[in-house]
């Protein structure tokens, strides 16, 4: 299938949640990133501290975002005078999402659509509070339409995994009813589709084409009707988000990468009408992968001609090391509190 994805002029990504915090490290010269300690101090609404001579600002520790296991990206695409914003996942917990939004002073009233990459609590845990806060923000600026929540229809009753001595369950994802009760307009989409004037593409099921991307080992789902746990290693509901950035190429966002980051990027090229991928950001789920899988993944991402990689969430330090080794200058880790701008 080929999507109707429009070219956009620029892109901004605000990392509301990610596993890693790093307000010090530098990014490669091609990456525009704001969120280090200097930026945090200068963005503080408070004036210069008293009795400290010529000091102009103070770094307030309670203005630094906190990382937690999950991901949430506020993504704004601009085309001409049109600006559209989508929230990609909501992180693992409501209080963390609220705290980081507040510290970032993020204008969440701009969010029109929330998409969930897949049903896993580290992506959906902040959902209900996010819906409420976004709708409150929208009302405050006289935007009457509530936020749309784009969900994959196949919601497991519970997800979990087979541990050494038995099945470990995750907390339940919010139900469709709970999302609606919180004020979200639920739309269910199993197939790939564009949203927000065709400026974003949300994929359907991601075809598994590489030999080494085998899904999430030991993953299980509980089926209420059968009252039993069944194997669920493929996490078929996982989908990605994509934009087509003018004169750069596609930018692909992957939540956990259970379908495989290479499978995801290959499908992105297919659905992006053959446009090359400029950048991929999000969870590449290589943290617990065997060494050959990490090496093969990075080799194949390099062969796809991707210019920048923003591994975050469940990508793991070994994958980042491998990217730096095989693709020097292309590594730009996604860290909480950072705003990336692409033009």
Tell me which residues touch Fe ion (CB under 5 A): 122, 256
The Cα 185–Cα 131 span in angstroms is 9
CB of 313 to Fe ion, least distance (A): 6
125 versus 249: smaller Cβ distance to Fe ion:
125
SS3 string, 259-296, reads CCHHHHHHHHHHHCCCCCEEEEEEECCCCCCCHHHHHH
- Alpha-carbon separation of residue 31 from 92, 131, 184, 284 (angstroms): 27, 31, 34, 19
CB of 82 to Fe ion, least distance (A): 31
The residue number with the shortest CB distance to Fe ion is 256
CB of 4 to Fe ion, least distance (A): 29
The answer to whether 199 and 243 have CB atoms below 8 angstroms apart is yes
33 versus 256: smaller Cβ distance to Fe ion:
256
68 versus 148: smaller Cβ distance to Fe ion:
68
The answer to whether 332 and 309 have CB atoms below 8 angstroms apart is yes
The Cα 103–Cα 99 span in angstroms is 6
Strand partners, 156: none
Q: At a CB cut-off of 8 Å and minimum separation 6, what does 3 contact? A: 192, 193, 194, 201, 242, 271, 272, 273
CB of 330 to Fe ion, least distance (A): 23
160 versus 272: smaller Cβ distance to Fe ion:
160
Strand partners, 15: 73
CB of 237 to Fe ion, least distance (A): 13
In this structure, what token pair is assigned to residue 61? 């520790």
122 versus 300: smaller Cβ distance to Fe ion:
122
In this structure, what token pair is assigned to residue 109? 């009233």
CB of 285 to Fe ion, least distance (A): 7
Q: At a CB cut-off of 8 Å and minimum separation 6, what does 26 contact? A: none
CA 59 to chain centre: 28
84 versus 120: smaller Cβ distance to Fe ion:
120
114 versus 256: smaller Cβ distance to Fe ion:
256
CB of 135 to Fe ion, least distance (A): 25
70 versus 249: smaller Cβ distance to Fe ion:
70
CB of 123 to Fe ion, least distance (A): 6
Q: At a CB cut-off of 8 Å and minimum separation 6, what does 308 contact? A: 28, 30, 31, 278, 279, 280, 330, 332
Taking Cα atoms as reference points, which of 6, 241, 243, 208 lies closest to residue 116?
241
248 versus 320: smaller Cβ distance to Fe ion:
320
The answer to whether 105 and 56 have CB atoms below 8 angstroms apart is no
CB of 219 to Fe ion, least distance (A): 11
Look up residue 27 and give its DSSP letter.
P
In this structure, what token pair is assigned to residue 187? 């739309």
């Amino acid at each position: 299938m080929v999507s109707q994805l429009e070219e956009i002029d620029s892109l901004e990504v605000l990392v509301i949640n990610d596993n890693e915090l790093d307000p010090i490290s530098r990014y490669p010269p091609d990456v525009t990133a704001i969120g280090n300690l200097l930026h945090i101090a200068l963005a503080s609404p408070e004036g210069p501290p008293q009795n400290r001579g010529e000091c102009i600002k103070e770094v307030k520790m309670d203005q630094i975002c906190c990382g937690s296991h999950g991901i949430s990206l506020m993504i704004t695409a601009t085309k001409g005078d049109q600006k559209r914003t989508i929230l990609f996942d909501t992180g693992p917990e409501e209080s963390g999402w609220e705290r980081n939004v507040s510290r970032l002073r993020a204008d969440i009233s701009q969010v029109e659509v929330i998409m969930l990459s897949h049903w896993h609590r580290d992506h959906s845990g902040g959902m209900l509070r996010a819906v409420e806060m976004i709708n409150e923000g929208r009302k405050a600026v006289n935007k009457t339409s509530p936020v749309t929540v784009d969900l994959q229809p196949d919601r497991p009753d519970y997800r979990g995994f087979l541990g050494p001595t038995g099945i470990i369950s995750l907390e339940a994802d919010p139900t469709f009813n709970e999302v609606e009760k919180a004020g979200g307009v639920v739309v269910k989409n199993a197939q790939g589709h564009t949203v927000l004037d065709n400026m974003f593409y949300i994929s359907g099921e991601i075809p598994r084409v590489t030999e080494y991307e085998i899904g999430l080992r030991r993953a299980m789902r509980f089926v209420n009707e059968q009252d039993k746990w069944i194997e669920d290693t493929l996490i078929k509901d996982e989908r990605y988000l994509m934009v087509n950035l003018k004169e750069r190429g596609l930018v692909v966002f992957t939540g956990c990468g259970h379908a495989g980051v290479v499978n995801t990027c290959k499908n992105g090229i297919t659905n992006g009408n053959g446009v090359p991928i400029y950048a991929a950001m999000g969870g590449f789920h290589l943290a617990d992968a065997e060494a050959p899988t990490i090496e093969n993944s990075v080799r194949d991402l390099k062969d796809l001609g991707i210019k920048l990689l923003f591994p975050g969430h469940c990508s793991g330090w070994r994958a980042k090391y491998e990217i730096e080794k095989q693709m020097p200058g292309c590594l730009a880790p996604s860290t909480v509190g950072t705003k990336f701008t692409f033009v």
